[in-house]
Chains A and B, each alone.
Chain A
């Protein structure tokens, strides 16, 4: 395996040959996906003649936004520094950031031996996140198609284990990896995670407090104590 400490990306070439086309295709495709989200409702209207009235839309939208808006704020703050531009286009449009895209980006960076927040880290994260999409989209398609067979052939015990305990295990294992990489921030992050939870702060705001608080600590450590990442 190559020694990645010797691998440095030329910022001008990165901007010209990678970032510009990524932004062009990412913006156009994200707009198309956004428009495509209205397709089911329009199609349903043509089939059945049923379309929700404005009052239903506004009430439903209002209820939906009380849940979603805090996450609109917390997720880009939390994920963008890790997954970079290409990764964020995919997280924003395809979702599953915390449980799938970020862990795949992180393991790719670990395998490559590059640091997050660098140009090298951004390229490697793009590979990790893209590969997670290649795995997840077909799996969801076949999973939906073969839903009866899945229910029949997978033991209930295993499905229950996946339903209840895989997510905490994903978070725990990625946390372990990141503690090794950023151990100096871990005690602060732990306290900043625990306190809002104990005070029952809304989950998205608790995430914002934890992430921004830990970022502030990292800035203070660098600025006042010259402790680097």
Chain B
């Protein structure tokens, strides 16, 4: 069994097909949700140019993080295989860092060392199994989404003011946490957080002052690029 070259198998057509199946399912779900939401909005009297504006804003905002995912994915592709990187990241639950941690955990469990020349197909089989099932909790939570709404209704008693307060406060809290945890590393990270924060606030306010709501489509996309470049320039 040790004669099998795991690197060759790891990038076979089979893993691309597996990635294609999960990605296809994910794309179908997104397409269905999109069509339902858009047709409901249009039937409720929302003009098409408004939904187009939402789409433009989301596309512009997605470009930076998606490019970043692609670049970071290189680490996983080099460490294991491009096919597995696609299978895990196309409809993957974790970050590349998480994936590498899970692969290392699986290798340890199989009595091997991930990244070591002695790594075998046995370690690869363990890695692929553990990486895929490690996200079971999120999948189960997605399956149980309908109950999240019911829990929220029970906790808030359906009070629209409380629902709005909870949603608004959770938004601020989530990104306060992620921003502070990055900024506290100092150096370019602090610069990236502060510059992007100020730039984003300025651009959203500018759109309001100029009464040009379409500017908002670009605000996050521009702010994140400016923050990233500022962080890199500072760090060198």
Complex partner residue of A135 from B19, B66, B136, B143, CB under 8 angstroms? B66
With A26-B142, A135-B63, A141-B90 as given contacts, are A36 and B22 in contact (CB-CB < 8 Å)?
yes
Cβ of A123: which chain B residues have Cβ within 8 Å of it? Answer: 37, 40-41
Partner of A143, one of B33, B73, B110, B220: B73
For the complex, give the distance between the alpha carbons of A94 and B66 in Å: 13
Q: Are B167 and A14 in contact (CB under 8 A)?
A: no
Residue count of chain A within 8 Å CB distance of chain B: 162
Residue in A2, A92, A103, A163 whose Cβ sees the most chain B Cβ within 10 Å:
A92
Contact partners of B68 in chain A: CB under 8 A:
99, 162-163, 166-167, 170
Residue in contact with B165 in the complex, picked from A31, A193, A228, CB distance below 8 Å: A228
The B-contacting residues of A in range 113-152, CB under 8 angstroms, are 113, 115-118, 121, 123-124, 126-137, 139-141, 143-145, 147, 150-151
Contact between chains at A214 and B178 (CB < 8 Å): no
User: In chain A, residues 171-187, which have Cβ atoms closer than 8 Å to a Cβ of chain B?
Assistant: 171-182, 185-186
Contact B38 A127 (CB under 8 A): yes
Interface class of chain B by DSSP: helix
User: In residues 192-222 of chain B, which contact A (Cβ within 8 Å)?
Assistant: 192-201, 204-205, 213-214, 216-217, 219-220
B residues 49-104 with Cβ under 8 Å of A? 49-51, 53-74, 77, 82-87, 89-95, 98, 101-102
User: CA of A27 to CA of B139 in the docked complex: distance in angstroms?
Assistant: 10
- Are B169 and A215 within 8 A (Cβ)? yes
Query: Given the known A-B contacts A30-B142, A81-B152, are A140 and B90 also in contact in the complex, defined by CB atoms under 8 Å?
Result: yes
Tell me the nearest residue of chain B to A21, going by C-beta: B36
**CB < 8 Å neighbour of B167 from A65, A108, A147, A229:** A229
Let me know if B44 is at the binding interface, CB within 8 A.
yes
Contact A47 B193, CB 8 Å, known A67-B98, A72-B137, A140-B89: no
- The reply to whether A181 and B135 contact each other, CB–CB distance below 8 Å, is no
Most buried by A among B4, B18, B62, B126: B62
Min CB distance A13 to B, Å, is: 8
Task: Assess whether A153 is interfacial by the CB under 8 Å rule.
Answer: no
Q: Which residues of A contact B188 (CB under 8 A)?
A: 164-165
**Among the listed B1, B146, B229, which residue makes an inter-chain contact with A50, where contact means beta carbons less than 8 Å apart?**
B1
CB distance from A20 to the nearest CB of B (A): 10
CB of B168 within 8 A of CB of A117, answer yes
With A37-B133, A139-B66 known as contacts, the answer to whether A44 contacts B47 (CB < 8 A) is: no
Known: A95-B94, A127-B51, A144-B73. A44 touches B175 (CB 8 A): no
Give Cα A113–Cα B43 distance, bound, in whole angstroms.
18
Q: Tell me if A1 and B213 are in contact (CB < 8 A).
A: yes
A151 vs B72: C-alpha distance when bound (angstroms): 11
Q: Can you give 29 A-B contacts (C-beta < 8 A)?
A: A1-B49, A1-B53, A30-B143, A39-B18, A50-B122, A55-B109, A68-B98, A94-B26, A95-B93, A98-B175, A102-B174, A103-B61, A111-B56, A111-B217, A127-B55, A137-B27, A140-B85, A159-B71, A165-B192, A168-B189, A168-B227, A170-B68, A172-B196, A172-B223, A173-B220, A173-B224, A176-B223, A178-B172, A222-B162
Given contacts A118-B164, A127-B38, A221-B165, list 4 more A-B pairs with CB under 8 A: A85-B148, A92-B139, A107-B219, A140-B73
Nearest 10 pairs between A and B by C-beta? Answer: A117-B167, A92-B142, A169-B227, A176-B200, A60-B109, A143-B70, A165-B231, A172-B196, A218-B169, A72-B137
